[in-house]
Amino acid sequence: MSFLVSVTKKKFPRAVDRNRIKRLIREAIRHEKGILQNLIDNSEFRFIFAVTYLGNSLPDSEITTSSVKKLFQLWVKKYEKNSTSSHLPSDTID
């Protein structure tokens, strides 16, 4: 499991601000990646996640953590929906 974290230079011209946001996001990912662990352990695929911060102001750690948690839950929900809806049950195949 790999993560790519990106912050736009246009909205945050100072590297110090961009690096701080990326550190906050990476720390939130480290704390919340357990949500994805079951999904990844049961899959034969390799996952690479890309996260881009599009906000206009510097976030705090609480907001970042809750946003990453919601994002991971959304990814799990979409993956489970796509993986179950694309397969036919074995008893319906003749």
pLDDT tens digits for range 13-42: 999 999 999 999 999 999 998 888 877 888
CA distance linking residue 5 with residue 35, whole number of Å:
18
Q: What is the pLDDT of residue 94?
A: 45
Please state, rounded to an integer, the average pLDDT across all residues of the chain: 85
pTM score: 0.78
> In this structure, what is the dihedral angle of CA atoms 30, 36, 38, 43, given to the nearest 10 degrees?
-120
What integer is the mean pLDDT of 40-66? 89
More confident residue, 93 or 20: 20
In this structure, what DSSP letter does residue 10 have? Answer: T
Instruction: Tell me what the mean pLDDT of segment 63-77 comes to.
Output: 91
List of long-range contacts for 25-31, beta carbons under 8 Å, 24+ apart:
25/51, 25/53, 25/64, 25/68, 27/61, 27/64, 28/61, 28/64, 28/65, 28/67, 28/68, 28/69, 29/3, 29/5, 29/68, 31/65, 31/68
Q: What is the pLDDT of residue 84?
A: 66
> Can you say how many angstroms the Cα of residue 39 is from the centroid of all Cα atoms in its chain?
12
Higher pLDDT, 94 or 18: 18
